[in-house]
Amino acid sequence: MNYPALRQLISSLAPFLGVVVVVLLFWVFYPDQPMTLKAWRSVAVQTVVVGLAAVGMTWVIMSGGIDLSVGSVIALSGVSAALAVEAGWGFYGGVLAGVGTGALCGAYNGILIVGLRLPPFIATLGTMGFYRGVAKWVAANESVRPEDATGLSYTAGIAEWVKQLADGQWLAPAVWLLLATTLLGAWALRWTVLGRHTVAIGSNELTARLCGVRIRQTKVAIYSLAGLLAGLAGVMLFGRLTVGDPTSAVGIELDVIAAVVIGGASLSGGKGSVMGALAGALLMTVLRNRCTAVDWPNFVQEMIVGHIIILAVAIDQWRIRRTRR
């Protein structure tokens, strides 16, 4: 098997294959509930928040790190976007405030990790609580709801991005944004110096150091990038809720990490795929959509999603053992 490009393609397609399998299985057992185009479109919109954050998380996990604070960053960014709109900064002001807040949070994560030499798990476990607290503080412990006429119109502008469209229309703008971000993230991982260094650090940090890679700056850049994308996800969440809710996106970090892992990433770093992470995120939303469509209760979905993660990693481990032999 001397076709690594082909093999890589197959392994990055595997999670998409998982999506197809899930849809087919449900179709076989519930032929009266097919996956309609409308369902696909609503699934796509529901994937936006987790998907955007998963692109950044892929970079972090590829570098051998982890970011547990992503849920809190999404909430805080949503709140700051809402506050900016409320303060009359306009549509782009709101988007920039959210994205900027996310990037700052990510940079702080990175600085804590390299400055205090903390394990990323611990550093981001700490900031997970910290950012959540900040979100509640700046939002005065309640949802931020831009109420005057201009504020409402800007909110509506953002909400327009993540709206589920009526029949006859194509994809929501947020879905295009997700696709573009994913492609850009995948491209940059392979074609830019930052991407190359991210993979090198995750695969063997000692080698990267020996080769003169600036480990500290690179790590801060990676976490900032992940924060920025979490900020963008936060803006999208604000659009969907039309309020900045400091208690939203609780526990979403586990969905994001699960998406990346289902997408073929290794938590020990050096291995992963941005496209795979998107597929992983899609797989989870499709599964939720199907379970709802056939009236399975929520807890069944949770039980199934849990085992999909286990299965994805088990298959991966099995493949690694086979190729090493």
Paired tokens of 67: 């970011």
Nearer to other proteins, 48 or 225 (CB): 225
Indicate whether 191 belongs to the interface with other proteins (CB under 8 A). Answer: yes
Cβ atoms of 291 and 311 within 8 Å: the answer is no
Q: How far apart are CA 306 and CA 318, in angstroms?
A: 19
Site for other proteins in 91-120 (CB under 8 A): none
- Which residue in 32, 206, 251, 299 binds other proteins (CB under 8 A)? 206
Minimum distance from residue 193 beta carbon to other proteins (Å) = 5
Region of 22-30, 122-130, 145-153, 214-222 interacting with other proteins (CB under 8 A)? 214-222
Indicate whether 226 belongs to the interface with other proteins (CB under 8 A). Answer: no
Binding mask 263-302 for other proteins (x = CB under 8 A): -------xx-------------------------------
CA distances from 197 to 192, 202, 208, 214, 304 (A): 9, 8, 7, 9, 36
Indicate whether 214 belongs to the interface with other proteins (CB under 8 A). Answer: yes
Residue 207's φ and ψ, nearest 5 degrees, are -65, -45
- Which residue in 19, 97, 221, 278 binds other proteins (CB under 8 A)? 221
Nearer to other proteins, 5 or 166 (CB): 5
Indicate whether 4 belongs to the interface with other proteins (CB under 8 A). Answer: yes
Q: How far apart are CA 307 and CA 58, in angstroms?
A: 21
Cβ atoms of 79 and 139 within 8 Å: the answer is yes
Indicate whether 200 belongs to the interface with other proteins (CB under 8 A). Answer: yes
Q: How far apart are CA 231 and CA 228, in angstroms?
A: 5
Region of 49-57, 90-98, 168-176, 213-221 interacting with other proteins (CB under 8 A)? 213-221
Nearer to other proteins, 139 or 199 (CB): 199
Cβ atoms of 97 and 83 within 8 Å: the answer is yes
SS (H, E, C) 46-64: HHHHHHHHHHHHHHHHHCC
Look up residue 270 and give its amino acid: G
Indicate whether 184 belongs to the interface with other proteins (CB under 8 A). Answer: no
Minimum distance from residue 324 beta carbon to other proteins (Å) = 8
- Which residue in 5, 28, 37, 116 binds other proteins (CB under 8 A)? 5
> Based on the number of CB atoms within 10 Å of its own CB, is 312 exposed (0-12), middle (13-18) or buried (19 or more)?
buried
User: How many residues does this entry show for the chain?
Assistant: 325
Nearer to other proteins, 136 or 271 (CB): 271
Binding site for other proteins (CB under 8 A): 2, 4-5, 190-194, 196-197, 199-200, 203-204, 206-214, 217-218, 221, 270-271, 324
